[in-house]
Structure formats: structure tokens, C-alpha cells
């Protein structure tokens, strides 16, 4: 029997520890990633919520931007939540000056699409796992996907047609924070992608 996968959490800024706790509860090993050497030791990566432009800048300072892009190109599974979705997107409509992404998801995102921190809210979102009921998740300065390219697939939306979850191959990007409300379905779905990739 192969050992449990090692899931990395990009630990430069944001709520990576909440993701780590949830993943550990699901029985996988978690390693915080800040350097190219630490990235090389993981099977998959979580890009947490936080401030996407700050994570971008710190990723370049810590010299992990290009290694992450290279691993994504080779098929490494990545879960991006909130700011992490922005970092996975190929295009941003309202990027901060000089802001870059790791890319890989054929989508266009709009940052802070629901407003400021004061406009944060909870909503039910359809589960990615067939047969499971929708669960409550938190939207905190959340982005939305304003365009889903041909290579990506929309998985969930809220308030009509506002796309908040997308998948493309081994990449899973979501606008919200399931780790805040305790919904494990998106992390379990991500672990299914990790197992398929192994």
C-alpha cells in the first residue's frame, strides 16, 4: 500500500493553517511550503485565501513562482481557494499594478467581486461529490469567474450565474472558504484528483 500523499500548503501569507488542519483530519500528510526545495517534496499544493497580490510578490521574493508554474505544467494537482483561485487564473480583469499569476486555469477572474470584507457572507454551494447535499461556505472578499475558457469546466455558481468553482484537469479553483465553515467536500474532491494523478 502506497503512503498517503503529501499535500503542500503555500505558506507565504493567508489562511494556510486552516487548510492544513482540515487535510490532516482527512488523513493526509501536510507540509508547509515556502521554498523550491519544500515544493519539490510534495505531491500536490493548496494555494490559500489571503491577498493575491501579496502572495504573488512573496512568491517571487521566495523564488517559488517559476517552480510552481513548472509543476503545474507537469500536472501537479493544485487547489486554489479565494486568492488561490486568482493565482491559478490565466487572466485577471482588475489585477493590481504588476500582478502576476501562476496560471494554468483557462479562466478570467474578477477580484473582490462581491465587495469588501464588510460584504462577506455565507451561502450554500453544490457539493462537487455526487449525491452529497449542498453545504454552507464562506465568501470573504471573494472573486468570481467572469469567463470560463474552453479547457475549463464550471462546477458551481451562486446568485444566479456567478461562477464560483472551476476545474481543469488537476487544477481546482474555488472562490470561497470551505475550511472556515467546516465543509470537507471540496478538500475530499481535491484528494480524489490527487489520487488520480498518482
41 is catalytic: no
Q: Which of 82, 124, 130, 153 is catalytic?
A: 82
Element (H, E) at 45: strand 44-47
As a whole number of angstroms, the distance between CA 179 and CA 184 comes to 7
Q: Which of 18, 19, 177, 189 is catalytic?
A: 177
Neighbours of 171 (CB within 10 A): 28
Contacts of 101 (CB under 8 A, 6+ apart): 52, 56, 86, 87, 88, 89, 90, 92
As a whole number of angstroms, the distance between CA 152 and CA 169 comes to 8
Query: What is the pLDDT, as a whole number, of residue 69?
Result: 98
82 is catalytic: yes
Q: Where are the beta strands (DSSP E) in 103-182?
A: 105-110, 121-125, 135-139, 144-148, 153-158, 162-168, 171-174
122 is catalytic: no
Query: What is the pLDDT, as a whole number, of residue 120?
Result: 86
Query: What is the pLDDT, as a whole number, of residue 113?
Result: 83
List the chain pLDDT tens, one digit each, 198 residues. 567 889 999 999 989 999 999 999 999 999 999 999 999 999 999 999 999 999 999 999 999 999 999 999 999 999 999 999 999 999 999 888 999 999 999 999 999 887 777 678 899 999 999 889 999 999 999 999 999 999 999 999 998 789 999 999 999 999 999 999 999 999 999 999 999 988
Q: Which of 179, 189, 195, 196 is catalytic?
A: 179
Q: If one looks up domain 6-197 in CATH, what number appears?
A: 3.40.50.880
Query: What is the pLDDT, as a whole number, of residue 1?
Result: 58
Q: Which of 76, 68, 81 is nearest to 128 (CA)?
A: 81
Query: What is the pLDDT, as a whole number, of residue 133?
Result: 92
Amino acid at each position: 500500500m502506497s503512503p498517503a500523499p503529501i499535500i503542500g500548503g503555500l505558506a507565504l501569507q493567508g489562511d494556510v493553517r486552516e487548510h492544513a488542519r482540515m487535510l490532516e483530519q482527512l488523513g493526509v500528510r501536510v507540509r508547509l511550503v515556502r521554498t523550491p526545495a519544500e515544493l519539490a517534496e510534495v505531491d500536490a499544493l493548496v494555494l490559500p485565501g489571503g491577498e493575491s497580490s501579496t502572495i504573488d510578490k512573496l512568491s517571487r521574493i521566495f523564488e517559488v513562482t517559476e517552480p510552481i508554474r513548472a509543476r503545474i505544467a507537469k500536472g501537479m494537482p493544485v487547489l486554489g481557494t479565494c486568492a488561490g483561485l486568482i493565482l491559478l487564473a490565466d487572466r485577471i480583469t482588475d489585477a493590481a499594478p504588476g500582478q502576476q499569476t501562476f496560471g494554468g486555469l483557462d479562466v478570467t477572474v474578477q477580484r473582490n467581486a462581491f465587495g469588501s470584507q464588510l460584504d462577506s457572507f455565507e451561502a450554500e454551494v453544490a457539493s462537487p461529490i455526487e449525491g452529497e447535499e449542498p453545504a454552507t461556505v464562506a465568501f470573504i472578499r471573494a472573486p468570481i469567474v467572469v469567463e470560463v475558457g474552453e479547457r475549463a469546466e464550471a462546477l458551481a455558481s451562486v446568485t444566479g450565474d456567478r461562477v464560483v468553482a472551476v476545474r481543469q484537469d488537476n487544477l481546482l479553483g474555488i472562490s470561497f472558504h470551505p475550511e472556515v465553515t467546516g465543509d470537507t467536500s471540496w478538500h475530499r474532491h481535491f484528494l480524489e484528483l490527487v489520487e488520480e494523478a498518482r
